[in-house]
Structure formats: structure tokens, C-alpha cells
């Protein structure tokens, strides 16, 4: 019977000999980065870990503050608020009872702020405001707010 390992990223199959060599073709990696206290380990091929692994780690590490914020812990969340084509930077913060209590606009050119204020005043009941760029997953997390 032959021992096989499947790389979870590219799904290529490797035999036991892939663990040998200098450097070996397979390496032990943390699917959840150790930078965010991931403890589980798996074998991945070095090619995937050096390319896709770094990208996945980066997205995962950026996603954690968004999830912490949605759960009510962590600092305010930064992003962009957009009404029509008017967009400004924003900071969201939690209030009591699990509600967003403040959307702060920390800056922008005077003409952009005036345009934004005018568009906010013209909103009708049921119209939406897009919150974006908090992180890769933030827009979907904030849909219910």
C-alpha cells in the first residue's frame, strides 16, 4: 500500500518521498495562520504555500478584525461610505444593544463632503447606503446593520 498526501490547495498527490529532500516538496503549515493563534497543521506543497498560501493568510488576517467587530469586540471599523457616486472614508463604532452608534467621516475635501451631505438629505425611506472596503468580507457581514 502506498501512502499518499493530497495538497489541500492544488489537490496534487504526493508520495512519502515528497517529505524527503532538501528542501522537501511538502511542508507542514498552519491553515489558520499562527499569527492569529492557529494551532491546526497540515501538509501543503511548497509551491502552493509560497504562492496561494501567502495570499490566503493575508486575507484571513485582514478578515479577523471585521469578524471581531461584528461580534461586538475590537476597535472601530474603517471603510468607505458611498451614497450614489459620493464616497467618503468612514469609521464605524458600536453603541449599546448591539447597534452601530456612530458613522464618523474623518476627512475629505469640502466639495466631497458637501456633495455627500446633499445626497444623504435626498435619500428616501428604504434606500440603501453602501459600506465598503472594511475588509474583504465586511460588505456581506454588514448587510444586516
pLDDT in tens, 6-64: 998 899 999 888 888 888 999 888 776 666 666 788 888 988 888 877 787 778 777 87
Length of the chain in residues, anyone?
145
pTM attached to this predicted model = 0.44
Alpha helices (H) along the chain: 46-48, 54-70, 110-121, 138-141
Element of type H or E holding 94: strand 86-94
Q: Which set of grid coordinates corresponds to residue 17? A: 518521498
**Is residue 5's pLDDT more than 60?**
yes
Q: Is the separation of the CB atoms in 59 and 24 below 8 Å?
A: no
pLDDT-derived band at 106, boundaries 50, 70, 90: confident
Q: Percent of the chain scored above 90 by pLDDT?
A: 5
In this prediction, residue 50 carries a pLDDT of 84
Residue extents of the structural domains in the chain: 4-63, 77-141
Q: What is the mean pLDDT of the chain?
A: 75
Q: How does residue 117 score in pLDDT terms, banded at 50, 70 and 90?
A: confident
Task: Judge whether residue 135 has pLDDT over 50.
Answer: no
User: Which residues lie below 8 Å from residue 74, measured CB to CB, with a gap of 6+?
Assistant: 65, 68
Q: Residue 101: its pLDDT value, please?
A: 64
Say how many C-beta atoms besides its own lie within 10 A of residue 122's C-beta. 10
Nearest to 41 by CA among 57, 61, 27, 20: 27
pLDDT of residue 13: 92
Is residue 69 within 8 A of residue 76, CB to CB? The reply is: yes
In the prediction, which pLDDT does 64 show? 78
- Give Dmax (Cα) for the chain: 72
Amino acid at each position: 500500500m502506498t501512502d499518499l498526501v493530497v495538497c489541500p490547495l492544488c489537490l496534487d498527490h504526493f508520495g512519502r518521498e515528497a517529505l524527503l529532500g532538501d528542501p522537501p516538496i511538502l511542508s507542514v503549515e498552519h491553515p489558520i495562520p499562527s499569527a492569529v493563534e492557529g494551532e491546526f497543521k497540515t501538509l501543503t506543497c511548497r509551491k502552493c504555500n509560497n504562492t496561494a498560501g501567502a495570499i490566503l493568510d493575508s486575507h484571513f488576517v485582514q478578515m479577523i478584525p471585521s469578524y471581531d467587530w461584528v461580534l461586538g469586540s475590537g476597535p472601530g471599523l474603517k471603510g468607505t461610505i458611498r451614497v450614489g457616486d459620493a464616497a467618503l472614508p468612514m469609521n464605524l463604532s458600536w453603541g449599546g444593544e448591539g447597534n452601530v452608534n456612530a458613522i464618523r467621516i474623518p476627512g475629505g475635501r469640502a466639495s466631497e463632503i458637501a456633495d455627500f451631505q446633499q445626497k444623504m438629505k435626498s435619500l428616501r425611506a428604504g434606500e440603501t447606503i453602501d459600506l465598503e472596503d472594511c475588509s474583504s468580507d465586511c460588505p456581506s457581514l454588514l448587510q444586516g446593520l
